[in-house]
Amino acid sequence: MAAEPDITAVAQAIGEPARAAMLLRLMDGDAHSAGALATVAGVAPSTASTHLRRLCDAGLVVATDAGRRRLHRLAGPEVAELVEALAALAPPRLPSRLQPEPPSGPLLRARACYGHLAGRLGIELAALLRKDGVVGELAPGETGPVCTVDHPLLTALGITELRGIGPPVRACLDWSHGTVHLAGALGTALLTALLDEGWLRRRPGGRALRLTEAGRRGLAEYDIG
């Protein structure tokens, strides 16, 4: 008989403010050095290395060598789902010194959530695509099909087919607004296209994204933005 999983091992790895801040920063889907994550967490580089080893040992983070640097990223989408789910249940914010980004403003309007778009903009796009029949109604965490990619917004963004592994679409609970945005292949394609077309730009030093003038024009006809 298989033993029950030891969830305390994962909980203890996450349950330290500096490590939690690092995980939130890694939700942008990029790889970061220990020094950059130390700044986010408000700790010394040597302390950050200890925290990162703990996260790696728990299977939450993976480290790879890139030349003379060692870079860290989340171990996979299942870790991102766990962090997002915890964020939806958590109190509003970490202590101010450990808050990776301001708790309001740009981060709540649009942000990267491990390869897809979150925040108010992501929620509005999800609502539009549900209303127009691209995807169906999904509860948080549910996956489903993409009914069609024949939609003027997807066409404008150059999305004609979906690639990659994983579900076509998954409803990801957005901690900042208490409803869902779109993950899965469709969510990834949307964020990639919005960045490639210059409708969104990454803000330096965080997960927040900026809607450009081109993006405002492109989304204006859908009353989004």
Phi/psi class of residue 148: alpha, beta or left (left: φ > 0; alpha: ψ in -120 to 50)?
A: beta
Q: What pLDDT, on a 0 to 100 scale, did the predictor assign at position 135?
A: 97
Q: Is residue 1 part of a domain?
A: no
Structural domain including 11 reads 7-98
Q: Which two tokens stand for residue 55?
A: 């996260």
pLDDT band at 121 (very low <50, low <70, confident <90, very high): very high
Q: What pLDDT, on a 0 to 100 scale, did the predictor assign at position 210?
A: 94
In this predicted model, what pLDDT tens digit does every residue of 184-225 receive, in sequence order? 999 999 999 999 999 999 988 778 899 999 999 999 989 997
Q: Which residues on adjacent β-strands are paired with residue 201?
A: 210
Give the residue, 3 or 129, on which the prediction is more confident. 129
| Arithmetic mean of pLDDT, 97-104 | 51
Distance CA 25, CA 31 (A): 10
Q: Which two tokens stand for residue 52?
A: 């990162």
Distance CA 143, CA 180 (A): 12
Q: Are 88 and 178 in contact (CB under 8 A)?
A: yes
Residues 110 and 216 in one domain: yes
Residues 77 and 133 in one domain: no
Q: What pLDDT, on a 0 to 100 scale, did the predictor assign at position 81?
A: 86
| Arithmetic mean of pLDDT, 26-43 | 92
Residues 141 and 176 in one domain: yes
Give residue for tokens 């766990």: 82
Residues 17 and 39 in one domain: yes
Residues 39 and 78 in one domain: yes
Residues 65 and 121 in one domain: no
pTM: 0.79
Half-sphere exposure of 92 (CA within 13 A, CB side): 5
pLDDT band at 102 (very low <50, low <70, confident <90, very high): very low
Residues 212 and 166 in one domain: yes
Share of residues in the chain with pLDDT > 90 (%): 66
Residues 33 and 54 in one domain: yes
Q: What pLDDT, on a 0 to 100 scale, did the predictor assign at position 32?
A: 94
| Arithmetic mean of pLDDT, 16-30 | 92
Distance CA 27, CA 73 (A): 8
CATH number for position 87: 1.10.10.10
Q: What pLDDT, on a 0 to 100 scale, did the predictor assign at position 85?
A: 85
In this predicted model, what pLDDT tens digit does every residue of 137-189 receive, in sequence order? 999 889 999 999 999 999 999 999 998 778 999 999 888 788 899 999 999 99
Q: What pLDDT, on a 0 to 100 scale, did the predictor assign at position 105?
A: 76
Average pLDDT in the chain: 89
As for how many domains the chain has, the answer is 2
Last residue of a domain, one of 75, 98, 121: 98
